[in-house]
Amino acid sequence: MEIGLNHYLVLSTILFAIGLVGVMRRKNLLLLFFATEILLNAVNIAFAAISHYYGDMTGQMFAFFIIAVAASEVAVGLGLLIVWYKRHGSIDLDVLTTMKG
Amino acid sequence: MFEAVAFYLFAFLTITMFIITVTTSQALYALTALAAGMIFISAFFFILGADFLGAIQIIVYTGAVMALYAFGMMFFDTTRSVKEKQGNKFIITGLSTLAAVLVVLIVGAPMVSNNIVALYPTIDGMGNVQNVGLILFTKYLVPFELAAVMLLVAMVAGIVLAGKKMDRSITLTNDAELEIEKNKKVLS
Amino acid sequence: MLAPVNIPFESLNLMTLAPMLIPIIGALLILVIDVVKGGLDKSLYVVLALLFLVMDFFSLLGNAGLFSHDGTIMGMFDVMLIDGLALLGQFIIVGASMLFIPLSLTHKRFHEFSYPEFFALFLFMIAGFQFMVATDNIILVFVGLETSSLALYTLIAMHNRDKSFEAAIKYFTMGALAAGFFAFGAMILYALTGSVEINKIALVLASNGYSDIGYVLVGVAFMLAAFAFKLSLIPFHTWAPDVYEGASAAMAGYMSIVPKIAAFVVAMRFFEFLIHSHIVWLEVVLYAFVVITMTASNMWALVQTDVKRMLAYSSISHAGFVMAAILIGTTQANSALFLYWILFSFTNLGSFSMLWISRQKNLIDGQSSDHSYDKFAGMIKTSPVAALIMGLFMLSLAGVPPFALFWGKLYMISSAVSSGYTILALIMALNSAIAGYYYLKLIVYMFMKEPVVGVDGEIYVANATLALRTIIGIAAVATIFAFVAINPLLEFITAFVSKSGY
Amino acid sequence: MLDHILSILIFFPALAAVFGFMIQKESMRTYGVAVALIEFVLSLVLWYAFDNNVSGMQFVENIPLIPAFGINYSLGIDGISLFIIILSAFFTFLGIVSLTDTPKVKYMIITLLFLQMTMAGVFAALDAIVFYTFWELSLVPMLYIIGAWGGPLRIYASIKFFLYTFAGSLVMLVGMLFMAYFYHQAAGVWSFSILDWYRLVLPENFQLWLFVAFFIGFAIKVPMFPFHTWLPYAHGQAPTIGSVILAAILLKMGTYAFVRFSLPLFPDAAAYFMIPIAILAVIMIIYTSMVAYAQKDIKQVVAYSSIAHMGVIILGTFALNVEGVSGSIFLMLGHGVVAGGLFMLVGVIYDRRHTKLMSEFGGLAHVMPRYATIFGIMMMASVGLPLTINFVGEFLSLLGFYQQSHILTLLAGTGIIVGAIYMLAAYKKAFFGEVTNEANKNLPDINKKELFGIIPLVIVAIWLGVYPKPVLGPINNSVTSIIKLMHAKATTELAKERIPDLTKPRVFLMKKTINKEVN
Amino acid sequence: MEKYLYIALFAPLVSSLFSLLFTATPKKLFTGIVASLLIITSLISSSILLTHILETGEPIHVTMMTWMQTGGLYIPFGFLVDQVSVTMMMVVTLVSSVVHVYAIGYMDHDKGFNRFFAWLSAFVFSMMILVMSDNYAGLFIGWEGVGLCSWGLIGFWFHKESATWAANEAFIMNRIADLGMLIGLFLIYWNTGTLQYDGAFAAFHQLPTATLTWIGIFLFIGAMGKSAQFPLHTWLADAMEGPTPVSALIHAATMVTAGVYLVIRSHELYSLIPHVGLFIASLGTFVALFAASMALVNRDMKRVIAYSTLSQLGYMFAAAGLGAYWVALFHLMAHAGFKALLFLGAGNVMHAMKDELDPFKMGGLKKVMKWTWIMMVIGSLALAGVIPFAGFFSKDTILEAAYSGNHMVIYGVLLFTAGLTAFYSFRLVALIFHGEERYKLFGVHPHEAYRFMLVAMSPLLLVAIVVGILQTPFFDMVEEVLNGHEYHIEHTLALIMLVGTQLFVGLAILYAYVKYANSKIKVPDGTSKIENSFAYKLLINQYYIPYAYEEYIVKPYRELSEFFWQKIDVKVVDATVDGIASIIYNTGEKTRDMQSGNLSTMLRWMVVGLIILLSLAVIFGFTVKYSGV
């Protein structure tokens, strides 16, 4: 049984879906951020796979930049969380509902 | 054959890890599972011959990101189990639809990929790292530099947000207090 | 073993990079200055930022000269792309930024401006946006987008109120999700075509005759979702009202203009070739986006009690309106987009600035938000000039001629008409009428009701300094006398757009 | 100066209004009167310089505004617009003169001067976008006048007024853009010039759609049934001056636009829609007259009467012959003078009693004989008595339409009956009988200032009723050229048949035997 | 001669404007005097014009200025004095002169003295325009003008509810008819291209009969309103609310005859369409009988005279309809004289009786009001058509015309009506002037009118007495215009008819005297047998027509108006507009919950959006794939 590109894509999609589930059901902001990491990692697998099967470096490049982006996001995201936590003592997102309508 | 076994093994592991990540009520479990998942993903990179990427994955994610998250967790005191109110069953239906649609789509419609011409082909005889280096510093020089800026931005942002006394508002402090504080800073 | 790579220096076309480098250098300089000598007044940084923006603008002018002479320029291994869209987008980005930055010279002291980092991040953000529009490489778009977004989240949060943190967190989280969408969409397209450059993607897809149309659409759907988030199209708009409310008024005004034009330019690059291939799905979906975004956000704007939130919804509506240009896809429509957005910049920035100068440090007694309608009641009695100017901006937003935005609407609807989108044109027109109501509501409050707060009118200009007044004055003059500038502007834009092949 | 007199007419009041901000409150009225007087004199100069023998546009100005998109600042007047411009200046003048003690009088005068700018602009514009600009802009001062000085429901009324008209005119704007696009298709260049558009012959089905688009904009402004409901509110809540200008000038924009746009641009569609529109007009006449009869508030009676008169104007306009169209234009002037006068008169009593309910009055003729007399004259003019200004217009309008449809004219003609009913009933309730209400016992009669505002209107109402020729002559010339143009442009059989050919000698034979029609 | 034309025309206008200046001031005697003098000037000018016409036979035709000119329409202010109009001018100016002078006395104590003269002179002016115009539009000006003045004068005492009501009724009913006339005008214009009499008349000959018929009908509808023909007759009786001189001038002598004048003026039209003429004649005959019947029982002195006017108008239409235009005109002239006389006489009585109108409450006034009695009797004799008074000549000729035209039904009815006329006229005279002095019960002290009022009435008396002898010269004068011919019935037959008619009339008079001049007459209290009979009730209630109008037209109209306003305008039309607005607003209000402010919801919305897009993409992709495109 040959492992083809489609296998990777399916895997990637499944992981992405798991990430989406996490994004939707997580109420703790920190855990929510975990889910966003899953999303990006799912995409990374696919990029690497495509790159491999096409023999093209661009995919790896994209994956590389995605990792960079993910890392940056963590820094900013955590920064925001820390400030929020300092003020409110909670990172439950149900608290963030002062604005609506 | 080895490839297939490895693929399925790691696929199973990553999926399991990530499912744990998104479902567990213990933040620590989630963190650990995420870290494990990241590492398993790097395995795919190695399988696919993207060694550089694999290395980066382990260094950046498990080394940096996970460490950051771990610090964060300690700070937020989320080591105990997280209580999450779930609104309704909407999420379940939503997600199952999504999953169904996506899987059907990917499996049901295999991609026509025979006529793809690699624009930046892997050069045989060069290691992956060399290949990466070559293309990263020619074609993708600008994005690379911009990524550097992005990281700088992230750093500055992190410092400003987490480090620079954002917990009190200069807006609301009156001028006199501010003056005193300034002098204190100079003196100290 | 590794053959040296020879790259002729001329082929790099370094000047394509100049406009982005200037703000980056500026930002670094500001950071360095802060390190060397802290505690300097914000005015220094404002002026520095402004200076670099001016330089940026001039370098853009230089590029524009080159472009109008030679046509599209590629640079830096064909990653950078200087064409009409890039230039117009950057003109708007830099121009609006130049209008924005003096707004930090407020009379009252606000938290964010006491940090030099604010200005550094601001310049980084501009550079990020400039990268976004000046390339057709999706990777660079992605990185540019993230650079600017991360900076923007921070800028919002730095306003340092509960609401601004909440806004930043919401924006950030949704942005992360959108980034995921973007990456996934790009991945599928890459899988289909083996390329991450939009023109190459277009070529490959065209050459195989869109045989994988279902797959293409999945990719497009993800990309569309990502753009829709950035452009605040319904149902991806939910961040917008909260973020606008949480951010300072000036920042909200800025956000309604600059990030969106950057996203519009990218969307134009990305969707135009698909639209021209007559993909029915995309037409239907964009049509739905345009109509739903315009109409629904108008309806929500109707029921708001806070002016800033109303303006937020109105911005969403305007974005939906302009999205029609992407749908129509003719040169006229694309020109209309830029024309509209330039005029919108002045008007919207002006109206948000009016909120900004009336901003108090604390909530006024008896008011539930910073800029509730009640606050503006009877303004004509206490502060007539401010009321007149605010009324002027509202009329312009509503599309009453001869004020600025009318001409944008005119040209946009005309482009719909010229391409046979009759129903769309009518919907656009009627939506302007619905929108008329909530703009009018503010006018009614200002001109026809009795004052509720502040009998002396001081609160309406509490924050005003010469700089702010100047900006508002510029916006007001531009709004009133727009009709003088429409013709050169239109000719300029049309030339640029058509020369870029859109 | 004559070359730019139209621009001066338009922008002089606006400029004066801007300067007005600097004027001290107490001196403002004098300033306003002076400016309005100058404006009025200027408009008379315009008339003096107007060449009655020319049927086309005069005093044409043309400055490119957005040449890339075919938009020019282009002005000009013909016999049709000349008098409405004069009327608008006249009313602004009278309005400011007769302005009673208003709070914030300074803002009121500034607003009025701005309004005058927009009114002059609408009627002088020869470019669709310029027209549209002034058309929309005119809403703003009126919005303010109603909203700031109006009655208890003023905000509702003003918003309704603004939004309704605004929505309608946006549809019209789409129509204009289509028109420009078609012109672009045909001629290869963009143009919004009305005179350019006149030369464009469109296929019938395009005409029909465009006609409808323009119609919605105009019909709401007129206002035609069933788009009329903003008007009673606007009039009911507006201060006197607002009602006067609204009725006298602003409503005329709609009917004027029909003549300026709908007829010459879409002759086939005009002929096609003639009967349906006439039916609407007949409904306007009869229905609103009946509604007027049911009103308790005397101002509402006048407001609804306006709608009924606008019905006659529409009918005349869609007669598509010289008699009818001239008549309708004349009736625009007539109704302007008369309705404006009536609103002023209602304002007189409102100032004294702060109510407009007829049940509060009764027997006013005893205590205010001069007022009753003048009111009676204006009322009779409104009813369309011969030798008053309205009769000329109504007669010609109905006469014109009679050529097209006997039965509809007959129905529309009942307007002279039902019109008399509500007017006389209202007059009877307010003025006749014994003075029953104590509050009315000592009302002062109409005073000098009020007389100064109203007497000129009475004079005009009678003068133009007796001797309409100086006004009717130029109107006739311009209308003749429009009808000729329409006939030349008509492509369908129906239109050729309904729009008379003025180049041929007139033959007087009925097209159908009347028996068939009436039976 | 033009000079006199203008004087005749504009003197009343000057008079009116002069009086108008003083309307808001207390009574000034000189306004009355000046007004009267000006009207007399007009009378003199008219007389000069008359002599001119008599001498030369040349009509005077002037065009003063253009009124309306647009498209093919040209309407000047043109005036034509020919045999017909000069007759009318004489009638109008004479009667109005008399009434003006009379009114100085009659309105002596009225607050609105000045206003009265303004209105009255304005009326004369309108009437002059009506008769002198050389085109239909000009006629219409006068037509509406007299309507206006009639409104103002009926409602002269505007504090009285009944007066203002009657004024409005008159105006509105006239308007109904005016619409008919207007349509007639339109028809004339679009068929002949002009509204000038001469042009139109010339063109009529080429028009198809159907068109002419419609023109004739619509013009006649106009005439019906002004001349109060059935079914538009109710206003005339109610119009008696106005001051009595007004009734004399407007509602007896001049305005109400305008309809007849219109038919006579358009004789060239009506002679082309005899079937319409016959209809007019029939209607006229019917009205003659119908009105006379109502006059039989009425208890309001002025209303009786009003009904008699109505009846006589019926006669005129009968004549005109039968083509005997000159006879109609002649009767018009004669009628103007004696009817005005009767009204003014009635005015004297009213003055004497403190505005009492019920003749049953009078009686025996002969003693105190001798002159009035004489005038009333002569007027009534003339009305009844007793030889040799005016009515005899004119009415008898009408009968002759009917007879010679072989319209025996018309003849019969008219003859019968003549008897009724005689009866009710003398019933009135008997009740007022003879019998018991019932007024004493009511404590009134009657007195004769001012001397000058009586003198003023004398010209009318003269007309009533002597106008008969002018029949032949009159015929000679107008035949040129009206193409009439004298009616010659075989001599013996004529004699028999004459004697028969006179006998019939005489008997009727006698019967009236017998029945009402005795001392048994009491003020009716609604108990007598006759008062409870069906016929009496029918007649006293005017055949229930006003009631029917009120019940089935006025009331429904009011209710429908109310319905249109409250239900249609507010609840349907306006509610739709507001409904659309509120639907939009409420949609916004209800859906704003989408923005719950909860981040989780927001994220879910994004995913939902994505799923929708993806689903659409999949559906579309499969469609394309399997549809083989």
Find the DSSP H helices in E323-368.
Answer: 325-352
pLDDT of amino acid D513: 42
Mean pLDDT for chain E?
Answer: 87
Residue B143 has pLDDT above 90, yes or no: yes
E248 contact partners, CB below 8 Å, separation of at least 6: E95, E99, E102, E339, E340, E343, E344, E347
HSE of C20 in the Cβ direction (CA atoms, 13 Å)?
30
Q: Across the interface, which of C213, C221, C434 has its CB nearest the CB of E613?
A: C221
Question: Is there a domain that residue C330 lies in?
Answer: yes
Angstrom distance (rounded) from CA E546 to CA E528: 25
Angstrom distance (rounded) from CA D194 to CA D176: 10
Reported as a pLDDT band with limits 50, 70 and 90, residue D308 is very high
pLDDT of amino acid E522: 73
Chains B and D touch (3+ CB pairs under 8 A): no
pLDDT of amino acid E437: 79
Contacts of B112-116 with C-beta under 8 Å, sequence gap 24+, read: B112/C208, B112/C211, B112/C212, B113/A5, B113/A53, B113/A54, B113/C191, B113/C192, B113/C194, B115/C207, B115/C208, B116/A54, B116/A56, B116/C193, B116/C194, B116/C204
Q: Taking the domains of chain A in order of start, what are their residue ranges?
A: 7-89
Are residues C425 and C416 in contact, defined by beta-carbon separation less than 8 angstroms? Answer: yes
Chain D interface mutation, best of E20, E22, E68, highest count of D Cβ atoms under 10 Å: E68
ipTM of the complex in this document: 0.91
Q: In chain E, whose CA is at the least distance from the CA of C174? A: E603
**Whether C444 and D69 lie within 8 Å, measured CB to CB:** no
Residues D339-353 pLDDT 10s: 999 999 999 888 888
Question: Is there a domain that residue C155 lies in?
Answer: no
Mean pLDDT for chain D?
Answer: 90
In chain D, the number of structural domains is 1
Domain A7-89 has what CATH class? Answer: mainly alpha
Residues D180-211 pLDDT 10s: 999 999 999 999 999 999 999 999 999 999 99
Reported as a pLDDT band with limits 50, 70 and 90, residue B96 is low
Residues C273-328 pLDDT 10s: 888 888 888 999 999 999 999 999 999 999 998 899 999 999 999 999 999 999 99
**Whether B15 and A8 lie within 8 Å, measured CB to CB:** no
Using a CB-CB cut-off of 8 Å, the residues of chain B touching E615 are 97, 101
pLDDT of amino acid D515: 44
Angle at B161 between CA B158 and CA B163, to 5 degrees: 85
Reported as a pLDDT band with limits 50, 70 and 90, residue D519 is very low
Range of the domain at B171: 140-188
Mean pLDDT for chain C?
Answer: 90
Give the residue-averaged pLDDT of E585-605: 87
Residues C214-244 pLDDT 10s: 788 888 999 999 999 999 998 899 999 999 9
DSSP SS3 for D58:
strand
pLDDT of amino acid D254: 92
Residue D517 has pLDDT above 50, yes or no: no
Mean pLDDT for chain B?
Answer: 79
Reported as a pLDDT band with limits 50, 70 and 90, residue E216 is very high
DSSP C108-136: S--GGGG-HHHHHHHHHHHHHHHHHHTB-
Using a CB-CB cut-off of 8 Å, the residues of chain E touching D515 are 210, 214
Question: Is there a domain that residue D421 lies in?
Answer: yes
D136 close contact with C: CB closer than 8 A? yes
Residues 61-90 of chain A whose Cβ lies under 8 A from any Cβ of chain E: none
**Whether E72 and D467 lie within 8 Å, measured CB to CB:** no
Which residues pair with residue E77 across a beta bridge? Answer: E65
pLDDT of amino acid D511: 43
**Whether E597 and A24 lie within 8 Å, measured CB to CB:** no
Angstrom distance (rounded) from CA A81 to CA A95: 13
Residues E148-171 pLDDT 10s: 999 999 989 888 888 999 999 999
pLDDT of amino acid B72: 84
Residue E83 has pLDDT above 60, yes or no: yes
Angstrom distance (rounded) from CA E341 to CA E287: 22
Residues E191-202 pLDDT 10s: 888 899 988 988
pLDDT of amino acid D514: 43
Give the residue-averaged pLDDT of E361-370: 82
pLDDT of amino acid D354: 87
Chain A: closest CA distance from residue B180 (Å)? 24
Chains D and E touch (3+ CB pairs under 8 A): yes
pLDDT of amino acid D412: 93
Range of the domain at C448: 279-502
Distance of CA A20 to the CA centre of its chain: 9
Chain A interface mutation, best of E596, E599, E606, E618, highest count of A Cβ atoms under 10 Å: E599
**Whether D291 and E561 lie within 8 Å, measured CB to CB:** yes
DSSP SS3 for E133:
strand
pLDDT of amino acid B92: 62
Residues C118-147 pLDDT 10s: 999 999 999 999 999 999 899 999 999 999
Give the residue-averaged pLDDT of D220-245: 91
Give the residue-averaged pLDDT of B36-57: 91
pLDDT of amino acid D516: 42
Residue B112 has pLDDT above 80, yes or no: no
Question: Is there a domain that residue D499 lies in?
Answer: no
Least confident among B82-96, E54-68, E119-133: B82-96
Give the residue-averaged pLDDT of D68-89: 92
Angstrom distance (rounded) from CA C327 to CA C323: 7
Residue D510 has pLDDT above 60, yes or no: no
Q: Across the interface, which of B118, B159, B172 has its CB nearest the CB of C194?
A: B118
Chain B: closest CA distance from residue C124 (Å)? 7
Question: Is there a domain that residue B25 lies in?
Answer: no
Residue B184 has pLDDT above 70, yes or no: no
Angstrom distance (rounded) from CA C391 to CA C372: 16
Distance of CA D47 to the CA centre of its chain: 19
Residue D172 has pLDDT above 80, yes or no: yes
Reported as a pLDDT band with limits 50, 70 and 90, residue B78 is low
Residue D89 has pLDDT above 80, yes or no: yes
Residue C424 has pLDDT above 90, yes or no: yes
In chain C, the number of structural domains is 1
Give the residue-averaged pLDDT of C347-357: 92
Residues A17-42 pLDDT 10s: 888 888 888 888 888 999 999 999 99
Reported as a pLDDT band with limits 50, 70 and 90, residue D369 is confident
Question: Is there a domain that residue B124 lies in?
Answer: no
D167 contact partners, CB below 8 Å, separation of at least 6: C430, C433, C436, D220
Using a CB-CB cut-off of 8 Å, the residues of chain C touching A50 are 187, 190-191, 194
Give the residue-averaged pLDDT of E510-534: 78
Chain A: closest CA distance from residue C388 (Å)? 29
Question: Is there a domain that residue D258 lies in?
Answer: no
Using a CB-CB cut-off of 8 Å, the residues of chain E touching C220 are 617
Give the residue-averaged pLDDT of D235-254: 92
Residue D512 has pLDDT above 50, yes or no: no
DSSP SS3 for E60:
strand
Which residues pair with residue D411 across a beta bridge? Answer: none
Using a CB-CB cut-off of 8 Å, the residues of chain E touching D416 are 175, 178-179, 182
Question: Is there a domain that residue D353 lies in?
Answer: yes
Range of the domain at D428: 273-467
Give the residue-averaged pLDDT of E392-414: 86
C5 close contact with B: CB closer than 8 A? yes
Question: Is there a domain that residue B121 lies in?
Answer: no
pLDDT of amino acid E520: 73
Model confidence, pTM:
0.93
Residue C3 has pLDDT above 80, yes or no: no
Q: How far is CA E292 from CA E116, E410, E429, in A?
A: 31, 15, 16
Residue A56 has pLDDT above 80, yes or no: yes
pLDDT of amino acid E514: 84
More confident residue, E372 or B94: E372
